[in-house]
Amino acid sequence: MSEDFKWFVDNYDNIFHEYGHKHIVIKNQRIIGVYDNVKDAIDKTCLSEEMGTFIIQECNGNESGYTNYISSWQLV
């Protein structure tokens, strides 16, 4: 699945250009579904695919769709 995530990041701009702000289901470096929300993406994809064999990524047009920022504030 890490290969699917890398494929998503490498193709992010093209995916957003084609589908807009959607939740993209990816398996074996192919888009197998495009949905308006993550619930539909999970529910509908699980009808034909086994859970854990695909990834779902939000495509919102900027890097926040695939990046998490973690910070820690420590008081001294």
Decide if 69 is inside a domain: no
pLDDT digits (tens, 9 = 90+) for 11-66: 999 999 999 999 999 999 999 999 999 999 999 999 999 999 999 999 998 776 66
Decide if 76 is inside a domain: no
The reported pLDDT for the residue numbered 71 is: 58
Decide if 72 is inside a domain: no
Decide if 43 is inside a domain: yes
* Burial of 25 from C-beta contacts in 10 A (0-12 / 13-18 / 19+): buried
Torsion from C-alpha of 56, 53, 49, 24, nearest 10 degrees: 20
Taking 90 as the threshold, does the pLDDT of residue 6 lie above it?
yes
Taking 60 as the threshold, does the pLDDT of residue 69 lie above it?
no
CB count within 10 Å of CB 14 equals: 9
Asked if 24 and 57 count as a contact pair (C-beta separation under 8 A), the reply is yes
Task: Please report the sign of the dihedral spanned by the C-alpha atoms of residue 22, residue 26, residue 31, residue 35.
Answer: negative
Decide if 20 is inside a domain: yes
Decide if 15 is inside a domain: yes
**Per-residue tokens: 66:** 């695939």
Q: What is the pTM of this model?
A: 0.82
